[in-house]
Amino acid sequence: MLPTQTETPSTCSLRTFRTQSSSSIVQARRTVQQLRIEASIERIKVSKASSELMRYCGEHAKNDPLLMGIPASENPFKDKKPCTVL
């Protein structure tokens, strides 16, 4: 903001300080809100998470096309005709 004719430089700087102060308060409130959200997240130990992940992968490996592959008869991306070069 530009100072008006009736404002002194100290009044202008006070207004700037208040604006900066209120924006920093808003930023601090956002930070506190985000920290509260992160603090409320349930956490588990890495050892437990990794063992559960390994168990899940072992149970679902037979249904994973990246591990087991897709039978040629069921592959929708396989060409139906051979490629011919002219």
- Ordered by start, the domain boundaries in the chain are 9-68
In DSSP notation, 15-63 reads: HHHHHHHHHHHHHHHHHHHHHHHHHTS----HHHHHHHHHHHHHHHGGG
Residue by residue, DSSP assigns 29-42 as: HHHHHHHHHHHTS-
pLDDT tens column, 33-78: 999 999 999 999 999 999 999 999 999 999 898 888 888 778 777 7
pTM of the model: 0.43
Task: Please give the angle made by the CA atoms of 27, 28 and 31, to the nearest 5 degrees.
Answer: 90
pLDDT digits over 6-23, tens only? 555 555 666 666 777 788
Instruction: Please enumerate in sequence order all residues whose Cβ is within 8 A of that of 16, keeping only pairs 6 or more positions apart, or say none.
Output: 1
Joined tokens for residue 35: 């920290």
CATH architecture for residues 9-68 = Irregular (4.10)
Distance CA 18, CA 24 (A): 10
